[in-house]
């Protein structure tokens, strides 16, 4: 166990050459997720040179620039595809992909499910704030039914994706969900995800008080944070609930932890390259 005070841990992983403050609003959950990622990496004693953080576009997309890893801020929705190339070129690298809900599931939804199906060794951390925050509160694939958004002034009529469940169905061997309120739990899941050989997903449920929260009069950041606490249940608690009851809840916990699916880059080396070389010889 690390005994260093938390602030010192962050200091060792933040970039001192990058000017702060960051781009996020005061009270935003993204910084909490970043803190959890940093502490998770520290708890695993990883060499910073062997860690890459790749992001797409949006508020969460701005995360990598602050941390002292190999970092890449790519195009909207495509972070997983960029990361796939990097992982194939550097299979020993720990490649962490950070995305928002719009980035990962709307424009990038195809890459998300295919990475899960392929089981390539990336860790996808989806900060789910239910909206497009950077552009001002438009509806995303996880905006709740009936909520108002800047592009849903009459109320939202599309059902949501359940990110973690989608990842399980698509084949990801490790999938967990927590919230930015449950920081210690979130950190633990992220550490487990990074330790997974294959494609791992952590959904970090968050909120956007600046856009969607304001439009819907859901209160300020502390109010929305409180709602994460009150509205979430563990997987175990959820098992005792009816489908109707579960619908309104954020279900926290590990939804999948399988060891039986081979990781892609390993499989490629063991099967494809071995066969190709055998054929050539």
Partner 1 sequence: MNRVLMQGDEACAEGAIAAGCNFFAGYPITPATEIAEVMAHRLPQQDGVFIQMEDEIASMAAVIGAAVGGARAMTATSGPGFSLMQENIGYAAMAEIPCVIANVQRLGPSTGRPTSPAQGDVMQARWGTHGDHPIIVLCPSSVRESFDLTVKAFEFSERYRTPVILLLDEIIGHMREGVELPADKTTLNVKREQTLVPPEWYKPFENLATDVPPLIPFGEGYRYHITGLHHDERGYPTDKVDEVEAWTARVYSKIKQALSEVLLYEENGIKQADTLVVAYGISARSARHAVEMARNRGRRVGFLKLQTLWPFPEEVIEQAAERIHRIIVPEMNLGQLALEVERVAGRRKVRRVNRADGEVIKPEQILSAIEGMR
Site for partner 1, rule CB under 8 A: 15, 17-19, 48-50, 52, 54, 64-65, 68-75, 78, 81-90, 92-93, 110-111, 114, 268, 272-273, 275-277, 279-280
CB nearer partner 1, residue 247 or residue 277: 277
**Least CB distance from residue 181 to partner 1, whole Å?**
30
In degrees to the nearest 10, what's the CA dihedral of 86, 88, 91, 95? Answer: 40
Nearer to partner 1, 48 or 259 (CB): 48
In the complex, minimum distance from the CB of residue 203 to partner 1, in angstroms, rounded to a whole number: 21
- Helix or strand holding residue 3 (H, E): none
CA 116 remoteness from chain centre: 13
Of 125, 142, 124, whose CA–CA distance to 32 is shortest? 125
Q: Where are the beta strands (DSSP E) in 12-148?
A: 51-55, 70-73, 94-100, 122-128, 131-132, 138-139
Rounded least distance, CB 54 to partner 1, Å? 8
Q: Between 89 and 157, whose beta carbon lies closer to partner 1? A: 89
- At its nearest, how many Å lie between partner 1 and the CB of residue 73? 4
Are 126 and 163 in contact, with CB atoms under 8 Å apart?
A: yes
Cβ atoms of 2 and 42 closer than 8 Å: yes
Strands 250-257 vs 174-179: parallel, antiparallel or unpaired:
antiparallel
CB of 268 to partner 1, least distance (A): 7
Q: Give the strand pairing for 51-55 and 70-73.
A: parallel
Nearer to partner 1, 75 or 237 (CB): 75
Whichever of 81 and 250 has its CB closer to partner 1, that residue is 81
């Amino acid at each position: 166990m690390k005994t260093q005070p938390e602030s010192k841990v962050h200091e060792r992983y933040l970039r001192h050459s990058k000017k702060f403050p960051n781009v996020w609003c005061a009270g935003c959950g993204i910084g909490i997720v970043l803190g959890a990622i940093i502490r998770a990496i520290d708890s695993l004693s990883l060499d910073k040179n062997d860690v890459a953080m790749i992001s797409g576009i949006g508020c969460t997309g701005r995360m990598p620039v602050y941390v002292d890893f190999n970092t890449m801020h790519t195009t909207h929705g495509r972070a997983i595809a960029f990361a796939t190339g990097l992982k194939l070129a550097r299979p020993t690298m720990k490649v962490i992909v950070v995305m928002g809900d719009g980035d990962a599931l709307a424009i990038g939804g195809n890459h998300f499910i295919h990475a899960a199906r392929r089981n390539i060794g990336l860790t996808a951390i989806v900060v789910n704030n239910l909206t497009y925050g950077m552009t001002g509160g438009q509806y995303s694939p996880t905006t709740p039914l009936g909520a108002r958004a800047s592009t849903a002034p009459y109320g939202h009529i599309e059902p949501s994706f359940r990110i973690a469940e989608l990842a399980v169905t698509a084949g990801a061997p490790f999938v967990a969900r927590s919230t930015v309120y449950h920081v210690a739990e979130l950190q633990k899941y992220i550490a487990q995800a990074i330790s997974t050989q294959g494609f791992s997903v952590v959904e970090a449920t968050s909120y956007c008080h600046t856009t969607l929260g304001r439009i819907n009069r859901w209160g300020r950041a502390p109010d929305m944070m409180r709602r994460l606490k009150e509205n979430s249940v563990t997987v175990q608690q959820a098992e005792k609930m009816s489908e109707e009851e579960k619908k309104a809840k954020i279900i926290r916990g590990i939804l999948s932890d399988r060891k039986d699916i081979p990781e892609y880059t390993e499989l490629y080396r063991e099967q494809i390259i071995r066969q190709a070389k055998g054929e050539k010889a």
